[in-house]
Amino acid sequence: MAYFPLLAFIAGAAIATQGGMNAQLGMLLKNSLMATAVAFLLSSVLVGSVLLWSNKVWPTSEVLRSIPLPLWFGGTLSALGVALFYYLIPKMGAGNMMAYALAGQIIIAMVISHFGWFGLPVSAIDGRKIMGVVALLVGVGLINGLGK
């Protein structure tokens, strides 16, 4: 859809903004893990409320049992990522942290897409994408002042 890039941009802006806000919360609480817990608790309440209000169809027990066990634990990676954001942003700065994080997201996303992991569409890594990653890594280096 034509508006997907805009929505993706908004998602990235939201992640950068909440990362900075919750990193500050962690600094004020003197505990980045507590800020992570607050963020996930409030997010769970919000998403749970919207789900209860809007969802009309619930998965059957057969569907629930058919889901591979590792897929139920994807949220642990989210918690790890969020906790690391809140820990590192006050030490590195939001821009520097987000540059490294974005590089990690794009590189791993390309590998996932290349192999079609998790049932996602396959998009092979080619020379153009490799050049894009090289440019991205040069950009991350420039943003973070590497080579000064």
Structural domain count, the chain: 2
Clarify whether residues 29 and 78 are in a common domain: yes
In angstroms, the first-to-last Cα distance of the chain is: 42
pLDDT digits (tens, 9 = 90+) for 2-22: 889 898 889 888 988 998 999
- The structure tokens listed for 59 are 């998965």
If you count DSSP H runs as helices and E runs as strands, how many of each does the chain have, helices first?
Answer: 6, 0
Which pLDDT belongs to residue 51? 94
Q: Other C-beta atoms within 10 Å of 22: how many?
A: 21
Residue 56 belongs to domain spanning: 1-92
How many degrees, rounded to 5, is the angle at CA 23 between CA 112 and CA 83?
45
Query: pLDDT grade, residue 29 (50/70/90)?
Result: very high
- If asked whether residues 24 and 80 sit together in one domain, one would say yes
What is the predicted pLDDT for the residue at 16? 87
56 and 103 housed in the same domain: no
73 and 136 inside one domain: no
Task: Among 52, 68, 92, give the residue marking a domain's end.
Answer: 92
Model pLDDT for residues 31-77, shown as the tens digit of each residue: 999 999 999 999 999 999 999 999 889 999 999 999 999 999 999 99
Residue 104, both tokens: 């990690």
Please tell me the pTM assigned to this model. 0.79
Q: Are 73 and 3 members of one domain? A: yes
Same-domain status, 40 and 3: yes
Q: Do residues 10 and 82 share a domain? A: yes
Dihedral, CA of residue 13, residue 19, residue 81 and residue 133, to nearest 10: 40
Residues 87 and 113 placed together within one structural domain of the fold: no
